[in-house]
Structure 1
């Protein structure tokens, strides 16, 4: 009588866990950013501290309508190539680091381990953001109203020539200040909901969609004030305002935002940020979990049959 060894997709085989996480993570990152990119473009424009007269919007629908009719629908996708170029390798590194750290911190053991998931998420974002930050700067420079850049290469070369390499990393400390709590909240929420909704741990797409969507929305809402500051720092070179152009860090950015717009300034772009992160995080986790399940399923099928 033959018996095939029992297979659990969450318990990744030792000979394929890293490769599966890297490939699944890359696919998840590209899907996450590309699908919701137009909403992200709207969020960037709504967060600009000193927008041009033609780029003041009352909401997501108003922004989408005005941008589409006055600048063309393609404008909402300007800069998406930068995200696609960076998201693949960055998310491969992101999920690869997460799986390794979660295992090291005991997050794969039975029961709920929110601290282990949060710590693993923090480790993942530190590594991934170091790679992704320059691509994010280029993306936001191309998203702002009146952007003069025709391509990713054009934007990168112009920013480097006029502002130097520092421009690509001026927002990195602020980015980490935002993404570490964002990812910690997201991962802890996702892992908790995933285990509550699906105690058996078997592959279940609906669980990943629901848990990912809620986790993304909660984390996005909680970290919006940090995202507003990040946008200011990443787009400062496009501003004609001397104080904005010379802004050098998180607290200086927050001070400037408060002086110009009060407490309401810290919630700029909250609606499109939540609207983009809820589905994009659901997509990201769904694609990642499916990719991990599929790739490791192939490896499991290749395992020798036990007699």
Structure 2
């Protein structure tokens, strides 16, 4: 009987090369964001303080039904071009930096006592680098996702924002984004690595491990950082708001004050359900894709 050699999926060297990690990260990032984009669009709309009753949604199902019936299914995909343009390079930088810093900090040494510290440091470092690249694309994406958005092209949106609000509009949310995504990524990577080791201690080929570990780590990280994501959305969409107070919002503290004043403590959980619904499957898909592409490119 012919014996088919099993691929050591997790047995691949962690030092597969920076180019391999970056290419795998880019492919994983595009896959993740493109698949879950409609849910992300719903999350953005639920987090905005809308002035029109037509743009106020009571839940994910309500938002999906109303948007698809009144604006068409295509509205849920508006802005995806910006994500595709930015997600590839940003995720390439993200995973490349993650693997580089993790190796440097000793996170690839089996049985090392500082493994969780190394993965947290690597995750945070990766986020700082990738967010600097992705933030402008995220601003464009959210402007296009809004109810009755005037933009149908990412390029047109970028030009308009730059002309009317200046370069700063693309980075006004960057400090808030970092405040959110550094802990998000640190939590995500730490939970992922710990669950992966717990579920698959022998390192055998196990896509199910990446799905479960990736999904749970994304759900946890997404839930705990939702308040910061609400503030980020307010800052990134302020230029399109008819509300003077929101248009004059200058940073995270101003955004938090607006959320608290208008909606109380529950305001910080706006979009929690679609955010978790986005990150749980998308993170599972991202890690599954990343590990797969890493192995495929390596081979």
TM over 0.5: yes
Interval of TM-score (by shorter of Structure 1 and Structure 2): over 0.9
Alignment equivalent of 2:246, drawn from 244, 247, 264? 244
> Which residue in 2 is equivalent to 1:106?
106
> Which residue in 2 is equivalent to 1:41?
41
TM-score (norm 1): 0.92
**1:51 Cα deviation from its structure 2 partner:** 4.2
Unaligned stretches of 5+ in structure 1?
299-307
**1:38 Cα deviation from its structure 2 partner:** 0.2
1:269 equivalent in alignment to 2:271: yes
Unaligned stretches of 5+ in structure 2?
none
**1:7 Cα deviation from its structure 2 partner:** 6.5
- Does the 8 Å CA contact 1:52/1:145 hold for their aligned counterparts? no
**1:218 Cα deviation from its structure 2 partner:** 0.2
> Which residue in 2 is equivalent to 1:92?
92
Structure-to-structure mapping, 1:168-207, within 5 angstroms:
168-207=170-209
Alignment equivalent of 1:208, drawn from 203, 210, 215? 210
Q: Distance in 2 between matches of 1:203 and 1:234?
A: 41
> Which residue in 1 is equivalent to 2:13?
12
- Does the 8 Å CA contact 1:43/1:273 hold for their aligned counterparts? yes
What CA deviation, in whole Å up to 9, does each residue of 1:249-301 have, x standing for no partner?
Answer: 111110111001111100000000000100000000000000111122x2xxx
**1:52 Cα deviation from its structure 2 partner:** 2.1
Q: Distance in 1 between matches of 2:22 and 2:289?
A: 12
> Which residue in 1 is equivalent to 2:62?
62
- Does the 8 Å CA contact 2:9/2:206 hold for their aligned counterparts? no
> Which residue in 1 is equivalent to 2:230?
228
Divergent runs of 4+, >6 A: none
> Which residue in 1 is equivalent to 2:117?
115
Q: Secondary structure of the equivalent of 1:84?
A: helix
**1:10 Cα deviation from its structure 2 partner:** 4.9
Q: Secondary structure of the equivalent of 1:117?
A: helix
> Which residue in 2 is equivalent to 1:129?
131
Q: Distance in 2 between matches of 1:170 and 1:177?
A: 13
Q: Do the aligned partners of residues 207 and 51 (structure 1) sit closer, same or farther apart at CA in structure 2, a change above 3 Å counting?
A: farther
Aligned pairs, how many? 292
Q: Distance in 2 between matches of 1:291 and 1:203?
A: 14
> Which residue in 1 is equivalent to 2:154?
152
- Does the 8 Å CA contact 1:203/1:293 hold for their aligned counterparts? no
**1:115 Cα deviation from its structure 2 partner:** 1.6
- Does the 8 Å CA contact 1:42/1:272 hold for their aligned counterparts? yes
TM-score (norm 2): 0.95
